[in-house]
């Protein structure tokens, strides 16, 4: 069995004090440090994350629902990518139609590149819609 004690000290322990404790059979098991903190709260990392593109908070604030304007942008972008258009061409078409990013700036190829993972995520549901079936009929047939 081991005996443990915790001593509150007001200053730095001296070598003489430590030697005296050792002579009494004690061994140093741990050091505990503390310091005064400023009035500022410690920096906490935010747990918030962006709402996925194409979605918005539901009116009852109980979940997410589709954002029609953003879904239109995704549909146009996916349609053009399927037609083998470059991201520059897609950005140009979105800008021509008056669409802007969530930040309110014109679309650029790099903004669309950042949107590609979301487009891939949505594509299976998008391809299953009747609207997409009609779009698919006008696409050129690839041999």
What's the pLDDT tens digit per position in 1-36? 888 888 888 888 888 988 998 999 988 888 888 888
10 Å Cβ neighbour count for 115? Answer: 22
Annotated domain spans of the chain: 55-138
pTM more than 0.85 = no
């Amino acid at each position: 069995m081991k005996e443990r004690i915790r001593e509150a000290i007001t200053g730095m322990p001296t070598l003489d004090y430590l030697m005296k404790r050792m002579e009494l059979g004690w061994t140093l098991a741990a050091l505990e440090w503390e310091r005064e903190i400023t009035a500022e709260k410690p920096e906490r990392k935010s747990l918030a994350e962006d709402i996925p593109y194409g979605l918005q908070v539901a009116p009852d604030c109980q979940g997410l629902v589709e954002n029609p304007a953003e879904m239109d942008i995704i549909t146009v972008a996916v349609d053009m990518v399927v037609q083998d258009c470059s991201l520059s061409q897609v950005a140009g078409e979105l800008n021509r139609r008056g669409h802007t990013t969530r930040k309110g700036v014109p679309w650029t190829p790099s903004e669309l590149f950042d949107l590609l993972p979301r487009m891939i995520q949505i594509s299976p549901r998008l391809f299953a819609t009747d609207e997409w079936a009609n779009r698919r009929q006008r696409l050129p047939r690839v041999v």
